[in-house]
Structure 1
Amino acid sequence: MRTPVSARLGADFTRLWTAAAVSNVGDGVTMAAGPLLVASVTDDPALVAGAVFAQQLPWLLFALISGAYVDRLDRRRVVVAVNLARAVALAALTVTVATDTVTVAVIYVVLFLLGTGETLTDTAMGALLPAVVTPDRLASANARLYASFTIGNQFVAKPLGAWLFVISAAVPFGFDALTFAISAALVAGIRRAPVLQERRRRTSLRAEIAAGVRWLWRHRLLRILALSMGLSNIAFGAAFAVFVLYCRDRLGVSGVGYGFLLTAFAVGGLLGTAVAAKLTRVVGSVAVLRAGLIVEIVTHVSLALTTKPWAAAVVLVVFSIHAMVWGVTVTSTRQRVVPPHLRGRVGSVYALLDLGGAALGSLLGGLFASAWAITTPFWIAAVVMVTITALAWRPLRAAGAV
Structure 2
Amino acid sequence: MDVPAKRAEQRGLGGDYWRLWTAAGLSSLADGVVKNALPLVAIGFTRSPVLISGLAFAFSLPWLVCALPVGVLVDRIDRRRAMLAANVARAALLAVLVLAMAFDLGSIWALYVAAVLVGVAETIYDTAAQSIMPQVVGREHLSRANGRLYGVELIANESVGPPLAGFLVAAGAMFALGAPVGLWAIAIVALLVLRGRFRIHRDRPATLRADIVEGLRFLWRQRILRTFAVMVGVFNFATGAVWAVLALYAVGPESMLKLSTQDYGFLVAMVAVGNAAGSLFAERVERLLGRARSLGVGFLCTALLLGVPAFTAQPLVVGAAFFVGGLGIVVSNVVMVSLRQRITPDRLLGRLNSAHRLVAWGTKPLGAAAGGFLAQWLGLSVMFAIMSGLVLTLIAGVRAVTDKAMDAAERVARAGEPA
Q: Same fold (TM over 0.5)?
A: yes
2:102 aligned with 1:95: no
Q: Normalised by the size of structure 2, how large is the TM-score?
A: 0.79
Cross-structure match for 2:232 = 229
Superposed CA offset, 1:355-382 (max 9, x none): 3334434444566666668665566556
1:262 equivalent to 2:262? Answer no
2:116 is matched with 112
The worse-fitting range, judged by mean Cα deviation, of 11-20 and 26-35 is 26-35
1:4 equivalent in structure 2: none
Q: What is the aligned counterpart of 2:204 among 200, 207, 210?
A: 200
> Hey, what's the Cα distance between the residues in 1 that align with 2:99 and 2:204?
45
Contact 1:213 1:349 in 2 (8 A): yes
Confirm or deny that 1:160 pairs with 2:142: no
2:183 aligned with 1:176, yes or no?
A: no
The aligned residue for residue 280 of structure 1 is 286
Indicate the residue corresponding to 1:352 in structure 2: 358
Contact 2:282 2:334 in 1 (8 A): yes
Q: Which moved more, 1:239-248 or 1:392-401?
A: 239-248
One-letter amino acid matched to 2:282: A
CA contact under 8 A between 1:123 and 1:347: conserved in structure 2?
yes
Q: Which runs of 5+ in 2 are unaligned?
A: 1-10, 411-419
Deviation at 1:67, TM superposition (A): 1.4
Which residue in 1 is equivalent to 2:19? 15
Deviation at 1:123, TM superposition (A): 0.6
* 2:406 alignment partner in structure 1: 399
Whole-angstrom CA distance in 1 between matches of 2:131 and 2:225:
16
Instruction: Tell me the residue number matched to 1:3.
Output: none
Give the Cα separation in 1 of the matches to 2:127 and 2:386: 32
Deviation, 1:162, is 4.0
TM-score normalised by the chain length of structure 1: 0.82
Structure 2 residue identity aligned to 1:183: A
Question: Root-mean-square deviation (CA), in Å?
Answer: 3.5
Structure 1 residues not aligned, in runs of 5+: 1-6
Query: 1:322: which partner in 2?
Result: 328
SS at 1:255's partner residue?
coil
Find 1:144's aligned residue among 148, 154, 177.
148
Tell me which moved more, 346-355 or 44-53. Answer: 44-53
What CA deviation, in whole Å up to 9, does each residue of 1:160-183 have, x standing for no partner?
334345555434444322222222
Matched residue, 2:61 = 57
**Distance 1:300-1:26 versus aligned 2 partners, 3 A rule:** closer
Tell me, yes or no, if the aligned pair for 1:293 and 1:385 is still in contact at 8 Å.
yes
- Name the % identity: 35
Amino acid at match of 1:223: R
Q: Does structure 1 conserve the Cα–Cα contact (< 8 Å) formed by 2:241 and 2:371?
A: yes
Classify the secondary structure of the residue corresponding to 2:66: helix
Equivalent AA in structure 2 for residue 357 of structure 1: T
1:39 & 1:301 partners in 2: Cα distance? Answer: 24
- Which amino acid in the other structure matches residue 230 of structure 1? G
Distance 1:349 1:88, change over 3 A: same
The 3 A distance-change label for structure 1 pair 340 and 361 is same
**How many aligned residue pairs are there?**
392
1:69 equivalent in structure 2: 73
- Greater Cα offset, 181-190 or 62-71: 181-190
CA distance in 2, matches of 1:53, 1:321: 25
Q: Secondary structure at the match of 2:362?
A: helix
Aligned equivalents of 1:107, 1:294: Cα separation in 2: 35
* Distance change >3 Å, CA 240–CA 28, structure 1 → 2: closer
> Over residues 314-372 of structure 1, what are the superposed CA-to-partner deviations in whole Å (9 max), with x where a residue is unaligned?
44322221111101111111111111111112112332333333443444456666666
The amino acid of 2:87's aligned partner reads N
Q: Separation in 1 of the partners of 2:233 and 2:377?
A: 24
- In 2, are the aligned partners of 1:289 and 1:396 still within 8 Å (CA)? no
Is contact 2:16–2:136 with CA below 8 Å preserved after alignment? yes
